[in-house]
Structure 1
Amino acid sequence: MIVVVLGVAGSGKSTVGAAIADGLGVPFLEGDAVHPGSNIAKMRAGHALNDADREPWLRILADHIRGSAVSGQGLVVACSALKRRYRDELRSAAAEVWCLYLALDRDTAHGRVAARTGHFMPAGLVDSQFDDLEPLEPDEPGATIDATGDREVTVSLARSAVADFGGRAAP
């Protein structure tokens, strides 16, 4: 099983993704960890990434997905994957990639990003993520869950969604 946990900054992708990976017994890939240094520097400076900036990053993520599919190991990836074409690129890397979109409102995202420390993504870029956001469409394999609640509730909803899809995420 390959799951892409997606959403804007502050949606809980890392927390949810790690919990799902643990429940499935598969590796977890934090998408932020594979951003090229130039992308991190650009975001740290308060500038939003564009499609050209994201291309090398998406290729890296797709390579990890492809490698996981070839090995039959399974994988959970946490990454923004804000646009349909980004998700299409990730899905093209393996036969069965399932997406879990963590939906929340701008105010909640702003508050969470502003409160975190040690991350390169400033709260000032949250609006740019919402500007780019294309929520999952009905024909995309995946599910959308409400990520405005506390972490435990969101993780529980995520695990249930994965279980409904066919995974065995632990309670």
Structure 2
Amino acid sequence: MFTCIWPLALDEAQSWRLRFLADYWETKKAGRALPERNDFDLADLKHILPYLLVAEIEPEPFRVFYRLTGTKVVEMCGDLTGRYLDQLGNSQSPWIKEGRDSYHQAWSSRSSFLGKYIWPTMRGAACTVEFGIFPLNVPGRPMQCFSLEDYHFRASSVASRDTLVPFTSKNNQ
């Protein structure tokens, strides 16, 4: 069963991918409130691309639309490309509300948001997911975010090639 999202300080993150993107995002800000999407060179990010999502923020009403889903995220959670966060499950699901709140905090504060949560796996284990949301300025378009998810399984789950329970599962409603 999903557990609530806990904010995560960068120095507490186990994920080297999350720390890398947080540092890279800060560098690309270059003294500005937000970096521009065009500031990012995908060649610099090639080792974390499978873990990335590109989300677009629609402010009124506030919604998160997934424009792109990395291959590792697809493997673990399914393809979110072309879907809204609030369409991934029951709108009353706590993880929908907490996910939206995390994106809203990053959007409204114009700063990154780091967190972690526990998600069930198909083999009955639990996976700790560390994530980050990094807002980007896209001139003439709604704000976008790079989001990164990194998955920490128990050794027994990794050996069995475990995956996460799909978002739309009754277990996560």
* TM-score over 0.5 for the pair: no
State the TM-score, normalizing by the size of structure 1. Answer: 0.31
Structure with more helix by fraction: 1
Greater relative CO (CA pairs within 8 A, separation 6+): 1
Structure with more strand by fraction: 2
